[in-house]
């Protein structure tokens, strides 16, 4: 005679839980998944950092080029001097000029110069850093017969990971002096 109610642990049934073999198989499968996923996640993280750094450098370079070219267009051509701040700086890494008279007959003198990895804008005596990621800056006259056109080149560089850097070069070939 069979009893009407079978208990949870009736004859022929197992106890609930996992065996050691099932646990070992689960751990092995998870370790394989993590060993495959870890490099993929690491690469995705590096790609994100690289793209984010590229976007930051592009925004910074565009802002710097906008400020320099906007001011250069308003320069008095006869007052432009291209040199370097001192012997430790690259050639052609400083430009000095006077802008057209703005208000009350005052003509401010502007200087854009590289000092190490920093690009400074100097108006009067006030120094303002425009970028702290500057690798290279050059102001040149692309044509020897026309001193009213200036070429501006800059390279920004930023450290990203594992001692690697990301660099962005930007050049504006024809900044025409309007005055």
Question: What are the tens digits of pLDDT across the range 88-105?
Answer: 888 899 999 988 765 556
- As a whole-number percent, the residues of the chain with pLDDT over 70 amount to 88
What lies within 8 Å, CB to CB, of 102 at 6+ separation is 108
The side-by-side arrangement of strands in the sheet containing 165-176 is 134-140, 149-159, 165-176
Alpha-carbon distance of 90 to 138, in angstroms, equals 8
Place of tokens 């320099």: 68
pLDDT of residue 60 exceeding 90, the answer is yes
Report pLDDT for 15.
Answer: 72
Alpha-carbon distance of 169 to 156, in angstroms, equals 6
pLDDT of residue 30 exceeding 90, the answer is yes
Report pLDDT for 5.
Answer: 52
Report pLDDT for 13.
Answer: 59
Mean residue pLDDT across the chain:
84
Alpha-carbon distance of 174 to 142, in angstroms, equals 8
Cβ atoms 156, 175 nearer than 8 A? no
Instruction: Give bridge partners of residue 169 from the DSSP assignment.
Output: 155
- Chain segment 103-161, per-residue pLDDT in tens: 556 678 899 999 989 999 999 888 999 999 999 999 988 877 777 888 999 999 998 87
Cβ atoms 112, 93 nearer than 8 A? no
Residue length, the chain? 179
Torsion sign (Cα): 149, 67, 61, 117: positive
């Amino acid at each position: 005679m069979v009893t009407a109610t079978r208990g949870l642990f009736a004859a022929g049934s197992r106890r609930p839980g996992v065996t050691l073999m099932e646990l070992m198989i689960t751990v092995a499968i998870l370790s394989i998944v993590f060993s495959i996923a870890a490099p993929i996640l690491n690469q995705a993280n590096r790609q994100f950092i690289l793209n984010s750094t590229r976007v930051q450098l592009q925004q910074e370079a565009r802002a710097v080029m906008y400020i320099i070219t906007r001011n250069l267009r308003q320069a008095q051509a006869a007052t432009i001097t291209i040199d370097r701040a001192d012997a430790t700086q690259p050639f052609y890494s400083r430009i000095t000029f006077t802008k057209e008279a703005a208000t009350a007959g005052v003509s401010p003198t502007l200087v854009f110069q590289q000092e190490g990895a920093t690009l400074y804008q100097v108006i009067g005596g006030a120094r303002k850093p425009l970028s702290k990621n500057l690798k290279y800056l050059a102001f040149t006259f692309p044509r020897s017969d026309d001193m009213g056109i200036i070429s501006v080149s800059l390279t920004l560089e930023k450290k990203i990971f594992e001692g690697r850097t990301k660099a962005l070069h930007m050049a504006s070939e024809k900044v025409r002096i309007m005055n």
